[in-house]
């Protein structure tokens, strides 16, 4: 996934993005410094942080002190099989200071930018069926027309078995939040900037081991805490940290599953190969329930629901609402101060939302 974005992964959970040559690199660095300034008290910039990768300053390798890298949160890190799409947003992918030559070059790359307002720069989709990734580069995005853009983007949400409508719905909600931010600010205009979409591609088996303590006994524990001070860590798998002193509980619950538990009528696919049985294995020591994310109505009968209810007891309500999806703004080499709304970016976001909504409603 790092190669898709042209960035290096650092073992500490960040990514390193090499600073581009001036003026682009310094401009991007200045943008991050401004938004993440510890003295920042501008509510618009403070809210903007929610939609960016976290920024940890700059870094240079000891061997090459003149090479500067931006140190950024790796938005893909928490995912097991991250599916990633990079979409450039706006009607112009050149900034107001671009030369005629640069404008010509950008326009010729994708003449429809003005009309469509966005361009798919790349995607990497995990196919459950083949346990492999399918990758598309920017030639794929540039080949999309008004007529084919909906199908072109829907490919990103297809697991090989089924269209992940849960992911589409969650993506729309996230993009709408970013649109709201843009509707409320007139201080920055963004050119050639992208949205990065990431979701969990694996139908990971959900395993819950219960030894001498059952989840049911822990029902009255405040949200997010287990007795004994163990903290639930919420990432794409809801992990009950298994480093408890006596190893009382280990649980890993995939959010994809919780979505289907909440909306189990909307089956992932009616085709037989995407259905699965919920197997309940009992042994004296522990019960292990194994399942995965594509669940159909037939499998939620019998005594399975009470079992699932125990599993989900510690899942906070909000995780049941939507699939685990990240949508973050990236690439800020062409951000400029402004005194008007960023109409080009807003136009692109609205068009993208319309396409996503059409994929969902189809």
Average pLDDT, integer, range 58-82: 96
Tell me: do 197 and 83 sit in the same domain. yes
Tell me: do 92 and 184 sit in the same domain. yes
CATH of the domain at 173: 3.30.470.160
Whether the CB-CB separation of 278 and 299 falls below 8 Å is answered with yes
Tell me: do 69 and 94 sit in the same domain. no
At residue 345, does pLDDT exceed 90? yes
Average pLDDT, integer, range 112-124: 98
At residue 259, does pLDDT exceed 60? no
Q: Tell which of 74, 98, 122 closes a domain.
A: 74
- Please give the pLDDT value at position 328: 98
Whether the CB-CB separation of 171 and 197 falls below 8 Å is answered with yes
Tell me: do 2 and 50 sit in the same domain. yes
Taking the model in full, what pTM does it have? 0.70
Tell me: do 169 and 90 sit in the same domain. yes
- Please give the pLDDT value at position 362: 86
Tell me: do 14 and 119 sit in the same domain. no
- Please give the pLDDT value at position 204: 63
Q: Does a structural domain hold residue 237?
A: no
Secondary structure of the chain in the HEC alphabet? CHHHHCCEECCCCEEEEECCCCCHHHHHHHHHHHHCCCCCCCHHHHHHHHHCCCEEEEECCCCCCCCCEEEEECCCCCCCCEEEEEEEECCCCCCCCCCHHHHHHHHHHCCCHHHHCEEEEEEEEEECCCCEEEEECHHHHHCCCCCCHHHHHHHHHECCCCECHHHHHHHHHHHHHHHHHHHCCCCEEECCEEEEEEEECCCCCEEEEECCCCHHHHCCCCCCECCCCCEEEECCEEEECCCCCCCCEEEEEEHHHHHHHHCCCCCCCCCHHHCCCCEEEECCCCEEEEECCCCCHHHHCCCHHHHHHHHHCCCCHHHHHCCCEEEEEECCCCEEECCCCCHHHHHHHHHHHHHHHHHHHC
- What is the residue-averaged pLDDT of the chain? 76
Average pLDDT, integer, range 313-320: 38
At residue 249, does pLDDT exceed 80? no
At residue 2, does pLDDT exceed 90? no
- Please give the pLDDT value at position 323: 80
At residue 282, does pLDDT exceed 90? no
Q: Does a structural domain hold residue 115?
A: yes
Q: Tell which of 74, 102, 127 closes a domain.
A: 74
Q: Does a structural domain hold residue 117?
A: yes
Q: Does a structural domain hold residue 190?
A: yes
- Please give the pLDDT value at position 6: 58
Range of the domain at 147: 75-203+322-361
Tell me: do 159 and 177 sit in the same domain. yes
- Please give the pLDDT value at position 236: 38
Domain count, the chain: 2
pLDDT band with cut points at 50, 70 and 90 for residue 322: low
* Range with lowest mean pLDDT among 3-7, 63-67, 114-118, 134-138: 3-7
Average pLDDT, integer, range 86-107: 98
- Please give the pLDDT value at position 221: 37
The Cα–Cα gap between 63 and 73 comes to 23
Q: Does a structural domain hold residue 189?
A: yes
Average pLDDT, integer, range 254-283: 33
Tell me: do 60 and 193 sit in the same domain. no
Average pLDDT, integer, range 244-269: 33
Average pLDDT, integer, range 77-102: 97
Q: Does a structural domain hold residue 105?
A: yes
Token digits of residue 34? 């401004």
Tell me: do 84 and 13 sit in the same domain. no
What is the share, in percent, of the chain residues with pLDDT greater than 90? 64
The Cα–Cα gap between 265 and 301 comes to 12
Tell me: do 63 and 31 sit in the same domain. yes
Residue-wise pLDDT tens digits, 15-65: 999 999 999 999 999 999 999 999 999 999 999 999 999 999 999 999 999
Average pLDDT, integer, range 202-229: 42
pLDDT band with cut points at 50, 70 and 90 for residue 66: very high
Q: Does a structural domain hold residue 217?
A: no
The Cα–Cα gap between 42 and 347 comes to 25
The Cα–Cα gap between 246 and 242 comes to 9
Q: Tell which of 44, 74, 104 closes a domain.
A: 74
At residue 143, does pLDDT exceed 50? yes
Tell me: do 81 and 61 sit in the same domain. no
Tell me: do 98 and 160 sit in the same domain. yes
pLDDT band with cut points at 50, 70 and 90 for residue 4: very low
Q: Does a structural domain hold residue 193?
A: yes
């Amino acid at each position: 996934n790092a190669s898709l974005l042209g960035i290096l992964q650092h073992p500490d959970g960040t990514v390193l993005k090499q600073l581009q040559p001036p003026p682009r690199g310094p401009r991007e660095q200045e943008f991050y410094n401004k938004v993440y300034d510890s003295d920042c008290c501008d509510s618009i910039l403070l809210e903007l942080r929610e939609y960016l990768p976290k920024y940890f300053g700059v870094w240079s390798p000891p061997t090459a002190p003149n090479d500067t890298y931006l140190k950024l949160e790796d938005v893909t890190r928490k995912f097991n099989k991250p599916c990633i799409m990079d979409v450039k947003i706006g009607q112009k992918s050149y900034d107001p200071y671009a030369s005629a030559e640069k404008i010509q070059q950008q326009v010729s790359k994708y003449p429809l930018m003005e009309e469509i307002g966005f361009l798919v720069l790349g995607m990497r989709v995990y196919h459950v069926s083949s346990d492999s990734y399918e990758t598309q580069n920017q030639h794929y995005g540039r080949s999309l027309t008004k007529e084919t853009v909906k199908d072109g983007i829907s490919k990103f949400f297809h697991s090989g078995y089924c269209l992940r409508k849960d992911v589409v719905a969650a993506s729309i909600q996230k993009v709408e939040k970013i649109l709201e931010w843009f509707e409320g600010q007139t201080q920055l205009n963004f050119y050639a900037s992208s949205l990065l979409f990431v979701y969990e591609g694996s139908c990971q088996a959900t395993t819950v081991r219960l030894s001498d303590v059952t989840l049911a006994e822990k029902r009255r524990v405040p949200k997010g805490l287990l007795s004994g001070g163990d903290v639930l860590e919420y990432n794409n798998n809801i992990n009950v940290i298994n480093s408890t002193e006596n190893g009382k509980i280990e649980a890993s619950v995939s959010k994809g599953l919780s979505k289907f538990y909440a909306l189990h009528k909307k089956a992932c696919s009616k085709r037989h190969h995407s259905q699965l049985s919920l197997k309940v294995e009992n042994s004296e020591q522990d019960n292990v329930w194994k399942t995965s994310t594509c669940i159909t109505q037939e499998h939620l009968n019998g005594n399975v629901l009470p079992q699932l209810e125990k599993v989900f007891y510690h899942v906070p309500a909000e995780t049941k609402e939507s699939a685990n999806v990240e949508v973050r703004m990236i690439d800020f080499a062409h951000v400029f101060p402004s005194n008007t709304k960023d109409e080009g970016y807003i136009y692109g976001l609205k068009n993208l939302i319309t396409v996503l909504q059409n994929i969902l409603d189809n």
